[in-house]
């Protein structure tokens, strides 16, 4: 498989992207080239998780398998994508203090 040509820092969870359009072509490319893909994010995009990104699973069959296999896959930790208010930046809000 060829490597996907998704731009560095592309954020599938960006509300602005979804307000403008659905990333249909990007998901289609991932299904063809990298059905399970690490979406690297810079520190600001990844905050508050501080792990550098998240996994994008783009094939329906893979998503079904993940949904059925809680013994292998978990959403217990870091399982949701949190959008913090604009004032809650890494420099203005550090754990354990909550800014929301």
Q: What is the distance between the alpha carbons of residues 4 and 37, in angstroms, rounded to a whole number? A: 9
The pLDDT score that the predictor gives to residue 65 is 93
- Looking at residue 61, what is its pLDDT? 95
Q: Tokens for 49?
A: 């998780």
- pLDDT of 80: 57
88 secondary structure, DSSP code = -
First to last CA, the chain: 42
> Residue 42: its pLDDT value, please?
77
Model-level pTM? 0.65
Walking along the chain (100 residues) 10 residues at a time, the average pLDDT comes out as: 80 85 92 91 71 87 90 68 60 54
3-state SS, one letter per residue, for 21-73: CCCHHHHHHHHHHCCEEEEECCHHHHCCCCCCEEEEECCHHHHHHHHHCCCCC
């Amino acid at each position: 498989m060829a490597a996907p040509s998704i731009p560095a820092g592309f954020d599938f969870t960006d509300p602005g992207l979804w307000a403008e359009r659905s990333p249909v072509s990007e998901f289609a490319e991932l299904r063809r080239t990298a059905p399970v893909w690490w979406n690297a994010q810079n520190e600001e995009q990844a905050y508050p998780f501080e792990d550098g990104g998240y996994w994008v699973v783009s094939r329906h069959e893979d998503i079904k398998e993940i949904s059925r296999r809680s013994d292998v896959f978990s959403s217990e930790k870091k399982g949701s994508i949190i959008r913090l208010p604009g004032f809650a930046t890494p420099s203005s809000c550090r754990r354990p203090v909550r800014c929301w």
